[in-house]
Amino acid sequence: MSNRTSVKMQIAAHLDACMALDDVLGCVIVSRTGALMGKMVEQGISVPSFAAMGATILGSSEAAAGLMHLSRPSSIFVEVDEGGILVMGAGKNALITLIINKSADINSLKGELAVIASNIGEE
């Protein structure tokens, strides 16, 4: 098996793990520059734009925290009436962006997602 195939399989496994979390409707794994690495989202969403948006949200939040001499945020939650968008860093090169429904337990979800993000960061 080639290294590229192995990486694709690892990303697919991480996407499956994210989608298995309660109240997750969609997921993308993205480089910190916004390049799409893997996706599981419903049709109708502009995946390249969504991927870049996740990287922009996290990057902007990290920059804002740095300007205020605060530690880097571990995650960012964008709350909307229908649910939300949760962005979490996954090591120094990647991040995970989830689309979640309104009934999600954010604190529990963040804890479970942190385990997946840590696994991605170690690869």
Give me the average pLDDT of each 10-residue run along the chain (123 residues): 80 96 96 94 90 94 96 95 96 95 95 96 81
Give the pLDDT of residue 108: 96
pTM of the model: 0.92
Give the closest residue to 86 by CA, choosing from 113, 59, 121, 119.
Answer: 113
Domains in the chain: ranges and CATH: 3-122 (3.30.450.30)
Ramachandran class of 56: left when φ > 0, alpha when ψ lies in -120 to 50, beta otherwise: alpha
Give the pLDDT of residue 123: 75
Give the pLDDT of residue 122: 83
List Cβ neighbours of 84 (8 Å cut-off, separation of 6 or more).
Answer: 77, 78, 99, 100, 102, 104, 106
Identify the sign of the CA torsion 77, 59, 63, 119: positive
Tokens of residue 26, six digits: 């969609």
